[in-house]
Chain A
Amino acid sequence: MNKFNSLKKRKKDLTFWQKIYIPEIFKGLAITLKNMLRPKFTMEYPEEKFIPPASYRGRPVLVMEKNGDERCVACGLCSRVCPALAIEVQAGETDKEKERYPEKFEINMLRCIFCGLCEEVCPEEAILMSKDYELAFTNREDAIYGKDKLLVPVEQLLDRIEFLRKYK
């Protein structure tokens, strides 16, 4: 505390030029003028949108492989771990190698809190947090996303997968 007291500038520590205040005014005006001539930081939405980095937790999406199948095996772990109870999964049988697939996979975007626990717990890397943050609905029914709105091709999610493998 003593160190900070001695660092505080008191009125008698000001130099003569600082006391008469007019040169300080000019210094302030010069700084503002310099700033007026510098480039601006505004991102003009909606023409320029902000692309978040890979670590951003946007809305959860299901990964769609190149042949059009989802990776999800409908184990139900994401539904159990979701703190907001936003995910509903109904499993069904299939002849493919993975033997299970989600007949119904619904995320209620009005309940989702974007925590990312479903992504952390998924054993198949089938549900990921994308970079999408622009969600606006006009009625409650539109907000319940089914499989059609949740499936996203894997090429768009590669940086998220890399981030997950490296850091989590």
Chain B
Amino acid sequence: MSLIELTIITLIKIVIVLTIMLLTVSYLVYFERKISAWAQNRLGPNRVGWQGILQPFADVLKLLLKEDIVPERANKYVHAIAPMIALFVAFTTYAVIPIGPNINLFGYEIQLVVADINMGILYVLALTSLGVYAITFAGWSSGSKYSLLGGIRSSAQMISYEISMGFSIGGVLLLSESLRPIDIVNSQAGWMWNALIQPIGFITFLVSAFAETNRLPFDLPEAEPELVGGFHTEYSSMKFAAFFLAEYANMIIASALIVTLYLGGWHIPYIETLNLSPTLTTILQIGAFFVKMGALLFFFIWVRWSIPRFRYDQLMNLGWKVMFPLSLVNIVWVAGLIMIFKI
């Protein structure tokens, strides 16, 4: 493929991915409200449009029209940059996650990734580390005690859980022998999903994903009864909307990562025995990716409304004294499996 064709195809993929991400993020807010309502025996929003489906547009309109207040003692430039970093990190991470196998469209062989980097997982890890900056800047630049406390706590939490996340990924890499996401997915072909082969790693990565996205039970930095609002207390209007959307976009990224690394990406076990046409198989596999991602997002929302929040010392205790050793045990386990079965 010539450079121009490659550029055009990539641009189209970028447009599609951005649109889908933005829509999914706003609808995730709607689904969170609906599912949290059902878990509490009540109906969620059901007035705007059929069953409340147009609620995200009402929310966005409201947030756009609000007044933007910046505290007097805040550092204006850092205060404005923090939500931008948060959104930037959330959206660019999606560039390396494949949603399906290679497809043949109009004679071109297209891979369903925006950027097929051969060290995609390292790119993702680097970007999540950048995401800590967003919260630190937000907490520090707001000029208020609660924001500072929230920002510091959140940064410490995110850094601590990145370690167990990295070591869990190490377990996955031992089996797939490559950092490229497509290779990782292909190494889990059939039913050999990493969640079944390395369950301890799966659990540590899942818990670390909850902690990285600041989601309950690890949401002390932004919990309302604890810190008024944590690092985003002093934000209003579009900047708050940016943080809000960035949190949900991080959730989507985390789910997509978990599906790619542990749940077999787009593979459906035993689909070859059905002998369907290649197009249908591809469509089913893309659908399977989204179904798995949707199930994980439901799990994220479900856990939020079921489990009490961890206290900060319990959180750090868990991160350093439980998750980190467990992820090391996971690496030993995977190494043991490789030695025994000589994969």
Minimum CB–CB distance from A24 to chain B (whole Å) comes to: 9
A28 to B261, CA, bound (A): 27
Stretch at the interface among B36-44, B132-140, B249-257, B289-297: B36-44
A36, B43: Cβ atoms closer than 8 Å: no
Residues of A within 8 A of B38 (CB): 35-36, 40
Q: Is B328 in the interface zone, CB < 8 Å from A?
A: no
A29, B302: Cβ atoms closer than 8 Å: yes
Q: Which residue of the partner chain, among A28, A29, A31, A44, contacts B43 with CB atoms under 8 Å?
A: A44
Q: Is B303 in the interface zone, CB < 8 Å from A?
A: yes
A32 to B38, CA, bound (A): 9
A105 to B39, CA, bound (A): 51
A40, B302: Cβ atoms closer than 8 Å: no
Of residues 15 to 54 in A, which have CB atoms within 8 Å of B's CB atoms? 25, 28-29, 31-33, 35-36, 38-42, 44
B305, A42: Cβ atoms closer than 8 Å: no
B42, A36: Cβ atoms closer than 8 Å: no
A33, B302: Cβ atoms closer than 8 Å: yes
A160 to B41, CA, bound (A): 32
Q: Mark B269-305, 1 if CB is under 8 A from A, else 0.
A: 0000000000000000000000000000000001101
A35, B307: Cβ atoms closer than 8 Å: no
Residues of B within 8 A of A44 (CB): 43, 46
Mostly, the B contact residues are loop
Number of A-B contacts (CB under 8 A): 35
Q: Is B7 in the interface zone, CB < 8 Å from A?
A: no
Minimum CB–CB distance from A26 to chain B (whole Å) comes to: 10
Q: Is B127 in the interface zone, CB < 8 Å from A?
A: no
Q: Is B197 in the interface zone, CB < 8 Å from A?
A: no
Q: Which residue of the partner chain, among A29, A31, A33, A41, contacts B42 with CB atoms under 8 Å?
A: A41
A31, B306: Cβ atoms closer than 8 Å: yes
A63 to B251, CA, bound (A): 61
A29, B306: Cβ atoms closer than 8 Å: yes
A31 to B38, CA, bound (A): 12
Residues of B within 8 A of A33 (CB): 302
Q: Is B195 in the interface zone, CB < 8 Å from A?
A: no
Q: Mark B305-316, 1 if CB is under 8 A from A, else 0.
A: 111000000000
Q: Considering only CB atoms, which chain B residue lies closest to A36 in the complex?
A: B38
Q: List 16 A-B contacts (CB under 8 A).
A: A25-B303, A25-B306, A28-B306, A29-B306, A32-B39, A32-B306, A35-B39, A35-B41, A36-B35, A38-B41, A39-B41, A40-B38, A40-B42, A41-B41, A42-B42, A44-B46
Residues of chain A whose beta carbon lies under 8 Å from any beta carbon of chain B: 25, 28-29, 31-33, 35-36, 38-42, 44
